[in-house]
Amino acid sequence: MQIDAGRFTVRLAQSEEDIAAAQRLRYKVFVEEMGAKPTPEDAALRRERDRFDPYFEHLILIDNEAPTDDPLERVAGVYRLMTGERAREGIGFYGATEYDLTKLEQLDRKVVELGRSCVGAPYRGGAAMHLLWTGLGEFVTSRGIEIMFGTASFHGADPAPLAHALSHLHHNHLAPEDLRVRARPEHFVPMDALPPEQVDRKLAARQIPALIKAYLRLGGFVGEGAYVDREFNTVDVCVLMDTARMVARYRDFYGRESSSAR
């Protein structure tokens, strides 16, 4: 797959150099901006990588007009994608290190794990994320994917200041039982620290990262419990999207709109 959109191209990584460029962008965002802790080897190379990378497919957004001849500096946005088939054949899902994914692993439906999503600072607020999502949509459609999931992060490794946001997610966006994965018991952080009536919805909205909000607008849910990732300096939640439920949600919404317009 490949999408050409003027200045940008979206495609799957085709070489080790492509993957290295994705890892360079991830280093800039997750290490230099967000405070993740790299190994000495990764710091020397300025690449954020892990043992799962060889098993993922890497969706990259390339800036064809980047003011550099260094191919490692031309990637403007990334996603990494692990289908259920590849997970079973290889190393498994990355998210299984944080969540019990048994419910997803036992589904008779096609699944993809989304991870390491980021856009370089100069490209935020523009078309970059939209183009990445267009590429993701083409990937999901072409592979017949029905369930998308992955961990999404709040900056900072202390869940206490995020009580309003986490409680709001738990009370309003908890996944249905058949998809409700749960943080592993040894790392489980309750997300319902506050009862619904004590949640400041405006504060919660300010605290929830834009990417998580976007997933929720598409009809996404969250799993039960959060996970503190001290190496990445984040509090993680597991976000899940069921394409069948998403279609039903938008059909209902537009049906109501049509009825009210008559």
Per-residue pLDDT of the chain (262 residues; tens, 9 = 90+): 899 888 999 999 999 999 999 999 999 999 999 999 999 999 999 999 999 999 999 999 999 999 898 989 999 999 999 999 999 998 999 999 999 999 999 999 999 999 999 999 999 988 888 899 999 999 999 999 999 999 999 999 999 999 999 999 999 999 999 999 999 999 999 999 999 999 999 999 999 999 999 899 888 999 999 999 999 999 999 999 998 876 555 445 434 443 333 3
Residue 88 lies in a domain: no
Residue 156 lies in a domain: yes
Shared domain for 132 and 192, answered yes or no, is: no
**Residue spans of beta strands (DSSP E) within 156-252:** 182-183, 221-222, 227-229, 234-242
Q: Hunting for tokens 């050409």 — which residue is that?
A: 4
- Per-residue model confidence (pLDDT) at position 180: 97
Both 131 and 229 in one domain: the answer is no
| Domain limits for position 172 | 146-262
Instruction: Assess whether 56 and 185 both reside in one domain.
Output: no
Indicate the number of domains in the chain.
Answer: 2
CA dist list (Å): 6 to 12, 125, 240: 17, 17, 32
What is the structure's pLDDT at 249?
55
**Would you say residue 56 lies in a domain?**
yes
Using the 3D structure, point to which of 144, 159, 188 is the last residue of a domain: 144
Q: Are residues 171 and 222 in the same domain?
A: yes
Query: 256 and 162, same structural domain?
Result: yes
Assess whether 182 and 194 both reside in one domain. yes
Contact between 60 and 20 (Cβ < 8 Å) = no
Q: Do 140 and 201 belong to one domain?
A: no
The reported pLDDT for the residue numbered 9 is 96
pLDDT at 121: 93
Tell me if 227 sits within 8 A of 151, measured CB to CB. yes
Asked whether residue 115 is assigned to any structural domain, the reply reads no
What's the half-sphere exposure (Cβ side, CA atoms, 13 Å) at 123? 23
Q: Are residues 153 and 225 in the same domain?
A: yes
Nearest-CA neighbor of 199 among 227, 229, 173?
Answer: 173
Residue 212 domain flag: yes
- Is residue 125 in some structural domain? yes
Q: How far apart are CA 33 and CA 120, in angstroms?
A: 10
The answer to whether position 18 is within a domain reads yes
**C-alpha to C-alpha distance for 207 and 223, rounded to whole angstroms:** 18
pLDDT of residue 245: 74
Entry field: residues in the chain: 262
Which H or E element spans position 165? helix 163-173
Residue 44 lies in a domain: yes
* Cβ neighbours for 194, distance < 8 A, ≥ 6 positions apart: 163, 164, 167
Q: Are residues 34 and 136 in the same domain?
A: yes
Residues 132 and 187 in one domain: no
Q: Do both 134 and 203 map to the same domain?
A: no
pLDDT of residue 252: 53
Residues contacting 80, CB < 8 A, separation 6+: 22, 53, 56, 57, 58, 59, 114, 115, 116
This prediction has a pTM of 0.89
Are residue 257 and residue 177 in the same domain, yes or no?
yes
Q: Are 207 and 115 in contact (CB under 8 A)?
A: no
